[in-house]
Structure 1
Amino acid sequence: MSDKDVLISMGFDAARVDWALRATNNRGLQPAMDHILEHNDDPIPDPSAQASAPAPAQPQGEPMDEDDDDTAALRAAYGGAGASGASATAGDLEAKSIKCAECGKTFRNTAMANFHAEKSGHDQFEESTEEIKPLTEDEKKQKLAELREKMAEKRAKKAIEEAKDAKANEQIRRKSGKDAVQAKEDLKMKQLTKEAEAKRREKVEEAKARAAIKEQIEADKRERAAKAAREKALRDGTPLPGQSAGPSSAPAAAAPAPAVAGREFKETRLQIRLASGGQPYTTTLSSDATLREVAEFVAGQTLAVDVETVTFAQHFPRKQFSKADFSKTLRDLGLTPSAVLIAS
């Protein structure tokens, strides 16, 4: 049954129904009913002055929105399914309505009864001679107001549910953001801890290196002092420190001992300091290595030193090495077993 038939069955004037359908461009039953109620006291304009548009056919299988349930109820209540309603009364002329045997409600036609059965789950119906009077204008307005109120309640309920969903989604988004920030902070803290531990180990290693260098320097000082004392004792013909005086031939016999002892060292520990300052370089070379090899070692450690132009000096005992010394071994230069050189 069309929207026009439903509205006419509700008791509205056919001309006013045509006017409402034209004015709402046949958008449906609800807009047309709203137009009729709003312009109930207005005169009906001349139809020839307005272009009429055919009512659009309802697409087959198109889903109905949740808010259209009440419109469907109006359609069933005032239009019904014409064929079904006719079949309900064709067999018995006195049957004016259909009654639910379970709740006692009466319905105008089979469509309304089916709608009630779907909503309530009732399945016991019987024909009734009770005639359902058409709704008055006040009853129509009241029914329409009830339907509108029900639609508004559904929309409000839907809005509340959407707001809850939005709030839950926002909480999930915020929690994800907090988790990401926390993970980032944890990663940063681990990185800082790792860097601090590396710096601590570096300081410990530097302290150990400084202590080793200091100890090496002290050992070199003691060694040089002992060497100088031996050489002085040999020159003066006095007993070596820690030895008692012996026959006059003892110093002569002991004279070659330092040279022999010096040649017994197979390796020489060197500490090379730059005249321009900076961290000293330490290495251990063969006692047979030449001074040029020492220059090559230092040049490999820093670009500030060139093998061809670098010179070496020794503070204690004070000595300046020339280019001719570059071909001599560390043993020949008296740098064994350890020495400190100044490179410039």
Structure 2
Amino acid sequence: MSDLHNLMDMGFSEAKCQKALSVNNNNFQEALEWLLVHGNQPDEPMVVEENPGPVLKLSKDQAKQEEPNKEDSKEEEVASANSLKCDDCGALLKDEDFATLHAHKTGHVNFSQSTESIKPKTIEEIEEQKKRLEEKLIRLRHERLEKEKQEQLEREKARRKEGRQLNEIKQKFQEEEMKRIAEAKRREKLEDAAYKRKVKEQIARDREAFKKEQQGQAVTETKPIQTPVQTQPTQEKKEYTECKIQIRLTDGSTMVHVFKPTEQLASVRLWIEMNRKDSVGKFNLMQTFPRKVYTEDDMMRTLTDLGLVPASSLVVTKV
């Protein structure tokens, strides 16, 4: 049964039902809701556009009875035909208008006249059908709400999944960044350790050489002194055994330490690294007057060779 028939069986007029379907794009649920709101309003004239639908064809047996030369059979047929029957599905239809609507809805085109009568529904049947339609309407609403709820859940799942993926990407990036920083610090520590080890080895060699030099001087002093030929006293170059160095740090504070003249400048730099309190990190050494910035080559030279004996002042600068 068509939507129009279902709505009319609920007690609404044909014009009202047609208008309800028309304004709601033939949507049964929306048309029923519209009728429940506007069903008690008076009918208004409605202009229906003519749209040629499927051509209704009578069956062969019925067509034979429609020959024009049998006027008596026509009158008898009109008197006995109480409805139209769809030969495609067997549905009984009240008149040609209902048959046309049925053809539009189903695409069936084969119809024949029938002597069967469509019994009008009683008030109880109309109320029962109306109740069923209302229940169907409630079910359709519930299904629509469930569908919207499910769609909302799917959207929320998609949003959370996207959020998790973004968090995983961010966490992976942070972990890789931390690994890079840790690797850089490890390399820096290895380089510093190698540098300090090199300086310590050089200091040890210098001290060993100094020790041997001192032992050699002691042996020389124990040898018998020959009576020298009386000569004119000469001015001897003064030999220093200590070198006092003042170190000015980056924060303005100073430190003072006494080194041996034979120690290398690298020994001074190592002592500063081990005792400074201002900051950490690589640094350079320089002399303000005369101005000189010491290089890596200078680190292997002794304090005497650099002219820092017996006392001098050095400045620590950041690299």
TM-score, scaled to structure 1: 0.49
Aligned to 1:103: 89
DSSP-derived class of the 2:275 partner: coil
Aligned length: 225
Aligned counterparts of 1:331 and 1:12: Cα–Cα separation in 2: 119
2:265 aligns with one of 257, 263, 270: 270
Aligned mate of 1:222, from 193, 202, 208: 208
Q: Does residue 140 of structure 2 align to residue 178 of structure 1? A: no
Give me the whole-angstrom Cα distance separating, in 1, the residues matched to 2:283 and 2:190: 18
Q: Is the 8 A contact 1:97 1:128 kept in 2?
A: yes
2:293 is aligned to 297
Q: What corresponds to 1:164 in structure 2? A: 150
Equivalent of 1:194, from 160, 169, 180?
180
Deviates more, 1:109-118 or 1:216-225: 109-118
Where does structure 1 lack aligned partners over 5 or more consecutive residues? 1-5, 18-27, 31-56, 239-267, 301-315, 322-328, 336-340
The separation in 1 between residues aligned to 2:144 and 2:10, in whole angstroms, is: 33
TM-aligned CA distance change 1:70 to 1:129, over 3 Å:
farther
- Corresponding residue of 2:251: none
CA deviations over 1:124-175 (Å, ceiling 9, x no partner):
2112233323322112112212222222232232223222222221211111
Matches within 5 A, 1:1-344: 63-65=25-27, 67-68=29-30, 93-94=78-79, 95-233=81-219, 269-271=264-266, 272=268, 273-274=271-272, 277-278=275-276, 292=289, 296-297=292-293, 330=305
> Does the 8 Å CA contact 2:21/2:27 hold for their aligned counterparts?
no
1:67 to partner: Cα distance: 1.1
Identity among equivalent positions (%) equals 23
Higher relative contact order (CA 8 A, sep 6+): 2
| Alpha-carbon distance, 1:61 to partner | 7.6
Question: What CA distance in whole angstroms lies between the structure 2 residues aligned with 1:270 and 1:120?
Answer: 105
CA distance in 2, matches of 1:231, 1:194: 55
Of residues 90-99 and 117-126 in structure 1, the stretch that sits farther from structure 2 once superposed is 90-99
Structure 2 residues not aligned, in runs of 5+: 40-45, 57-73, 225-262, 296-301
Query: Is the 1:270–1:282 contact (alpha carbons within 8 Å) kept by the matching residues of 2?
Result: no
What is the SS of the residue equivalent to 2:265? strand
Quick one: structure 1 residues 212 and 223, their matched pair in 2 at CA, closer, same or farther if it must change by over 3 Å? same
Equivalent AA in structure 1 for residue 29 of structure 2: D
Conservation of the 8 A alpha-carbon contact between 1:101 and 1:125? yes
Letter in 1 for 2:122: T
Q: Is the 8 A contact 1:275 1:342 kept in 2?
A: no
Question: Which digits, 9 at most, give the CA deviation of each residue in 1:12-31, with x for residues without a partner?
Answer: 79xxx9xxxxxxxxxx769x
Q: Provide the aligned C-alpha RMSD in A.
A: 5.3
Distance 1:72 1:281 in 2: 85
